[in-house]
Amino acid sequence: MCGIFGVRGHDDAVGLTKLGLFSLQHRGQESAGIVAVENGAARGVRSMGLVSDMPLLQLEALRGTLAIGHTRYSTAGSSSIENAQPVLVSSRGGHIALAHNGNLTNAGELRADLEESGSIFASSMDSEVIVHRMARSNAPLPEEKLVDALRDVEGAYSLLISMADTLLAARDPRGWRPLVLGRLNGAPVFASETCALDIVGATFEREVEPGEIIAVDANGERSLFPFERRELKRCVFEHVYFARPDSRIFGGSVDRARRALGRQLARECPVPGADLVFSVPDSSNSAAIGFAEESGVPYELALIRNHYVGRTFIQPSQASRIAKVRLKFSAVREVLDGKRVVMVDDSIVRGTTTRALVSLVRGAGASEVHMRVSSAPVTGPCYYGIDTPSRDELIAATHNQEEIRDSLGVDSLGYLTLDGMLESVPSGPDGFCHACFSGDYPTAPPTDPNKLRFGCGC
């Protein structure tokens, strides 16, 4: 997954983009980058790690009234600076810089076609095919080049692109990933989530619509809907896990969505006689509060998260996961000792983190641990931007619920039903992708899913 931010027509475009990226850091911590455009000339800085790790001197040297930025999520095997974004190239129509959130499902085919006719690629990212296709287009305007580039592209994309002096924003026709438009002193500001508008003081104007391309240049703003309408497939996992609770995405509040998920969970899978409910911070905080509100079981802070353990310090190998969990979380004995507890989490993917957390909670004295999950079981990989592992690593794809309960070491286990989940999110239940929960994939799977996981890191 990734976070994207862009602004045009503001003297402090770089500073605003940096701030915006800080509040989109949860969408990606592997690399960060900013491209700034001054009088049509673009320069960029990309670096591995967090936004705060970006080289200050180089950032201070960036100038321009147009800037786009990107935070990239970690994916297996693709952790390299070549795959950091924004991608920046020069073309006969001027520079092209691109920041992408999502995954293209037919990038392999598109790339093979381009390579066949002589293109060479600088990264393993699916996003790079869009840049190549734009550069090849003979259309006069940047937005027309983008239409040409996106014509045969399948899959998920929220894009911010600068070409010469134009800023382009685009969202795929199914609207998989969020993208919003705000305004600051008249300047348009685009961001993955509204929390990035808030941090720069921009007011939310509207979402970039699914299938829409917005072009901003010296002549103003133009909106196009060049593609066939498709059925809406907004990612329900954004509401469940990914987006920040202070954001509004897909026409609704993430906090309200998570509380509703938690309340529905309490209705579907109550725990009679429980002493307390707690969350696995931070992603399930709002859902656990919803569970507590609906059930009347007191909400407690039983797990404390250490926010200062850098991701780079933590090795992703399976063997070190238990140590990783202990570095990241600790349990409050005074809250848990002798108690029948409800542990709420937003999702179970591999089950390894959850298993280690359960042992931590038992170690702090809990007498019974009842696990409640504010989403349906994850039974399939995501091809549209979230880096879920392959099917054989997903615990719910290979085990039934009793086996999962046993494997996690909990006294009872309850997942939200798919219907309950979809009914709980704002503007649900229709218009959402739920493929990783239901197996109902809106597109053909990529021909080489592993290669495509390189993606934008998404």
Helix spans in 304-351 (H): 321-328, 333-336
Count of chain residues binding Mg ion (CB under 5 A): 1
Q: Is 236 in the site for ligand SF4 (CB under 6 A)?
A: yes
Centre a 10 Å sphere on the Cβ of residue 366 and count the other Cβ atoms it contains: 26
Give residues with Cβ within 8 angstroms of 394, minimum separation 6.
349, 350, 378, 379, 380, 381, 388
Among 78, 137, 247, 283, binds Mg ion (CB under 5 A): 283
Q: What is the DSSP string of 216-261?
A: EETTEEEEE--S------EEHHIIIIIS-TT-EETTEEHHHHHHHH
Task: Name the one range near ligand SF4 by CB under 6 A: 111-119, 266-274, 277-285, 430-438.
Answer: 430-438
Is-contact 456 101, C-beta < 8 A?
A: yes
Q: Is 257 in the site for ligand 5GP (CB under 6 A)?
A: no
Q: Pattern of binders to ligand SF4 over 362-401, x per CB under 6 A?
A: --------------------x-x-x---------------
Among Mg ion, ligand 5GP, ligand SF4, none, the one that 193 touches (CB under a kind-dependent 5 to 8 A) is none
- What whole-number distance in Å separates Cα of residue 300 and Cα of residue 333? 12
Which residue is closest to ligand SF4 by CB?
382
- Find where tokens 């979809």 sit: 422
Residue 194's DSSP bridge partners are none
Q: Pattern of binders to ligand 5GP over 265-294, x per CB under 6 A?
A: ---------------x--x-----------
- What whole-number distance in Å separates Cα of residue 22 and Cα of residue 26? 9
2 is catalytic: yes
Backbone angles phi, psi at 430, to 5 degrees: -90, 165
Q: Pattern of binders to Mg ion over 134-173, x per CB under 5 A?
A: ----------------------------------------
Of 182 and 381, CB closest to ligand 5GP? 381
> Could you tell me the CA-to-CA distances from 396 to 194, 416, 436 in Å, in that order?
33, 13, 11
Q: Is 433 in the site for ligand SF4 (CB under 6 A)?
A: yes
* Window 383-402: residues binding ligand 5GP (CB under 6 A): 386-388
Radius of gyration of the CA atoms of the chain, in A: 22
Q: Is 17 in the site for Mg ion (CB under 5 A)?
A: no
Q: Is 329 in the site for ligand 5GP (CB under 6 A)?
A: no
Residues within the interface to ligand SF4 (CB under 6 A): 176, 235-237, 382, 384, 386, 433-436
Residues within the interface to ligand 5GP (CB under 6 A): 241, 280, 283, 345-354, 386-388
- The residues that are catalytic are 2
